[in-house]
């Protein structure tokens, strides 16, 4: 079950916050305004957009950062095409793929694929996830340009974000006569955890509390398989049931998660 949140903004970021709230039909409060003490606040300020969990004495903050921290480390030392997500998607050598990530979340796997040369279209329906991811991309592009980091700049330029429901967007593409067919459709729906202990990080705990689980995830499979040119890849917790009850062509199983691969035809060399 999703928890409520409020959107707050400083004066310096009011215009972008107001534009976001209009897009998703959400109310906007300034930093001094009284509210109903919602646990979570989506904050727009001059530095970034972040999600604030106000329950602890020291509030926990969640934001998307492609420039420093764990994602920067994974970009530089993550194992390249040997990573499980890369193997499942089919990243290999100089093969350039267009991957549709229909459940983008915070963009972690999309970033890995873009680092390996794929062009990634990300679809995200949650207003909170979209705001965090859009801000992370915007800041990343600016910081990469300012630092003269051409490699990171090229990676982030291969990532495109669209605010929409993944299933609806794919069905619209199927109905369109001039839409581009992605090589691979990647699905990583939020699986409802039975306990917080099952979640590895506190940041992901608060993210799931706000975004909620994708209880309707099964509806993603049919349009994904119809739209993908070569394969559909579904990331699931290791013990989770098959998406829509569909048996995969092959499974790549790790310690806590697995990738179910649904092949349509062989990827080009």
Binding site listing for S-adenosyl-L-methionine = 124-125, 188
Q: Distance from CA of residue 3 to its chain's centroid?
A: 19
Partnered with residue 120 across adjacent β-strands are 99, 159
Q: Residues annotated as binding site?
A: 124-125, 188
**Biggest distance spanned by C-alpha atoms of the chain:** 59
CA 258/CA 84 separation, integer angstroms: 9
Q: Distance from CA of residue 38 to its chain's centroid?
A: 24
């Amino acid at each position: 079950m999703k928890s409520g949140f409020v959107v707050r903004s400083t004066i310096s970021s009011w215009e972008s916050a107001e534009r976001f709230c209009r897009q998703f039909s959400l109310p906007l409060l300034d930093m001094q305004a009284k509210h109903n003490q919602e646990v979570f606040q989506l904050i727009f300020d001059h530095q970034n957009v972040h999600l604030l969990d106000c329950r602890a004495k020291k509030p926990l903050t969640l934001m998307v950062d492609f420039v420093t921290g764990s994602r920067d480390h994974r970009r530089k030392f993550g194992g390249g095409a040997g990573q499980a997500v890369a193997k499942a998607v089919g990243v290999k050598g100089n093969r350039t793929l267009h991957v549709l990530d229909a459940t983008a979340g915070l963009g972690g796997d999309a970033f890995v694929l873009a680092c390996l040369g794929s062009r990634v279209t990300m679809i995200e329906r949650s207003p909170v996830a979209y705001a965090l991811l859009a801000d992370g991309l915007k800041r990343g592009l600016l910081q990469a340009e300012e630092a003269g980091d051409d490699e990171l700049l090229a990676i982030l330029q291969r990532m495109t974000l669209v605010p929409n429901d993944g299933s609806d967007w794919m069905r619209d593409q199927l109905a369109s006569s001039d839409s581009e067919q992605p090589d691979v459709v990647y699905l990583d729906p939020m699986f409802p955890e039975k306990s917080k202990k099952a979640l590895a990080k506190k940041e992901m705990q608060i993210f799931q509390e706000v975004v909620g689980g994708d209880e309707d995830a099964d509806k993603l499979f049919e349009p994904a398989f119809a739209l993908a040119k070569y394969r559909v890849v579904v990331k699931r917790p290791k013990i989770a049931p098959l998406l829509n009850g569909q048996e995969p062509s092959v499974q790549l199983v790790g310690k806590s998660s697995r990738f179910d691969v649904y092949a349509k035809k062989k990827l080009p060399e």
